[in-house]
């Protein structure tokens, strides 16, 4: 099993988070502000340099007004 940060499923997860952010017309900075975090936090998880824990994922989903269950369901393989 490949490390999760490099797996195809993780890459799909990141692409989906980026797509959802862009579909809402949000910049990384705007998402970071909603999260109360620096813009680098968003940039690092979007580039796959840092892993989101479950609570952070739920916060990101809320920040981009997305259903976390739908995001996770799309990753089944």
Question: Going by C-beta distance under 8 Å and a sequence separation of 6 or more, which residues neighbour residue 42?
Answer: 28, 29, 31, 32, 35
Residue found under tokens 């979007």: 46
Q: State the pLDDT at residue 6.
A: 77
Measured at the CA of 26, the angle between CA 4 and CA 49, to 5 degrees, comes to 25
Instruction: Give one word for 25, left, alpha or beta, with left for phi > 0 and alpha for psi -120 to 50.
Output: left
| pLDDT tens, residue by residue, 8-46 | 899 999 999 999 999 999 999 999 999 999 999 999 999
Question: Does the pTM exceed 0.85?
Answer: yes
Tell me the CATH class for 8-73.
Answer: mainly alpha
């Amino acid at each position: 099993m490949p490390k999760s940060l490099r797996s195809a499923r993780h890459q799909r997860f990141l692409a989906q988070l980026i797509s959802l952010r862009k579909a809402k017309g949000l910049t990384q900075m705007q998402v970071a502000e909603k999260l109360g975090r620096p813009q680098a936090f968003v940039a690092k998880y979007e580039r796959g340099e840092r892993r989101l824990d479950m609570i952070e994922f739920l916060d990101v989903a809320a920040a981009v007004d997305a259903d976390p269950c739908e995001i996770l369901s799309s990753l089944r393989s």
